[in-house]
Amino acid sequence: MSRPRIAITVGDPAGIGPEIAAVAANAPDVRAICEPVLYGPPASVTFLPGVLSADAGRASYDAIVRAVGDARAGRVAAIATAPINKEAWSLAGLRWPGHTELLAELTGSPRVAMMFFSDALRVVLATVHVALAEVPALLTRTLVEATIELTARELPRFGFPEPRLALAGLNPHAGEHGLFGREEARELVPAVAACRARGIRIDGPLPADTLFVRAVRGEFDAVIACYHDQGLIPVKLAAFGKAVNVTLGLPIIRTSVDHGTAFDIAGKGQADPGSLIEAVKLAAKLAAK
């Protein structure tokens, strides 16, 4: 069988993306299962390592747009992305807060979600790049139901044919029957009930301080977290450098790393390519299916 062609975007060219992308593209275990193709600025264009700039932000954006175009046209089977710098995107006048939102618009996908996938723990985020103060208003029954449904529909591709899901509560002790907040009773409980009525195996909302321990021990196949850090802190504690960021709900396969641009070590040869290697390998495995 021919190996699938996997696009690797190098991310912000002033960060660690170019160096880890080069290592990942030449890793023997990567080349054994796919043909990696690097997407980045022309070799003649140089960027100072660790220096934030609008030009670097625009270059990372342009590479993503080209890779998505090739994926949609069938010239590559999947995309694995190195990290972009959100501040550089802002300096470049780009209005998307990150990869996920841009990919959704480029592919016309009405409902997407960010999942962090590892052997130890899988977490899907209901809200992503928003201020914590905005989360309660955004966490509606409609959003939570849609996120649960998307997760249940997508997880079979990752080896969980009948996924066991759990929803984390927003407030301490999942609200403690209204003592610490009403969001659970008003939005989360009805969302879970509606999804269970449609045959989805979902429990919750459950107290987040113990839920992730239960998931790591194997009680649940994936956890839906209410906000960014609620989900990413346990994933990075359990599997930092091994977790893969996957965008659910796209018509193309997209995986990514579990870390940022690391400007402080860019160009010093200290960056760990492990997460990007895992991202490329997962993209290739999904493409093969």
Q: What does the alpha-carbon distance between residue 147 and residue 195 come to, in Å, rounded to a whole number?
A: 10
Using 70 as the pLDDT threshold, list the residues of the chain that sit under it: 1
Domain coordinates in residue numbering, the chain: 1-109+250-289, 113-245
Give Cα 187 to chain centroid, integer Å: 24
Query: What pLDDT shows up at residue 1?
Result: 57
- Determine the pLDDT at residue 289: 79
Please say whether the dihedral angle defined by the alpha carbons of residues 197, 198, 201 and 204, taken in this order, is positive or negative.
negative
Strand duo 244-248 + 113-117: pairing: antiparallel
Measured CA to CA, the distance from residue 15 to residue 226 in angstroms comes to: 29
Class of the CATH-defined domain 113-245: alpha beta
Number of residues that make up the chain: 289
pLDDT for the residue 176: 86
Please give the structure tokens belonging to residue 114: 């960010």
pLDDT at 178: 85
CA distance 157 to 155: 5
Q: Which residues of 205-230 are buried (b: 16+ CB within 10 A; e: fewer)?
A: bbebeebbeebbeeebbbbbbbbbeb
Mention the CATH class of domain 1-109+250-289: alpha beta
